[in-house]
Amino acid sequence: MENYRLLYYQPGTQAWKQVPVTGETFSIGRAPENNLALEDEQVSRQHAHLHIDARGVWIIDQNSINGVIVGGQRIAAGEWKLLSLNDNFTIGATTLRVEAVSPATSPSQPVTPAAGPARVAQPRQTNRALPLVGLLIAAACVCLVGGGIATWMFLPGLLSNESTASQQAEPTSAPPTVIDSLPASAGGGPVQDEHGVSLDVPPDALEAASRPTWNAPA
């Protein structure tokens, strides 16, 4: 069965007031022995009565003078009327309304909220690929640094050796061959050096070179 509360508003007040509706019956009137005693001259001492069951909240007019107004109409005295929740009804100069409340907010039945399920700590998932990636990056850095150092140490020597080798490989032009002797007689043909290059020699020079030279006796 649901829990209910009765809200009521009287002229001259600043706000609505509320009272819990407990049990299956609830009385409203001007007499102090009622569940809700209203200080209203238009309200009878035993004005109305509420009944709660599985179908909802019912109201009955107990032969009051001014009656009970529900939905703008006065209900018949001595007959039960099912109230619609959150709809206003009038007793004398007081406006009333019945509302359903959850057990947690009902002032008559305080309920301690149940503790939620305990949170289970989930194991952290570590990425096993990260250490391998770090090792690969470190190895690449070491290779780059080592290659730079090796280049700095050995490159000058390599460049020096290549320069020396290129200097040694360059061909040198052979110096011209000096002819120490000429053919023995003129008309013997052109004079050639040891590389087979023809040399133009004047005929007079050839004749002079072919003449015997006599040394005077001592």
Q: List pLDDT tens digits, range 24-68.
A: 999 999 999 999 999 999 999 999 999 999 999 999 999 999 999
Contact 56, 50 (CB under 8 A): no
| CA distances in angstroms from 186 to 67, 97, 203, 214, listed in the order given | 173, 157, 7, 19
Averaged over 131-144, what is the pLDDT?
74
Would you call 216 helix, strand, or coil by DSSP? coil
Contact 195, 177 (CB under 8 A): yes
Averaged over 122-136, what is the pLDDT?
62
* Rounded Cα distance, 67 and 43, in Å: 9
pLDDT value, residue 47: 97
Averaged over 189-213, what is the pLDDT?
56
Q: Residue 112: pLDDT above 60?
A: no
Q: What's the predicted TM-score (pTM) here?
A: 0.47
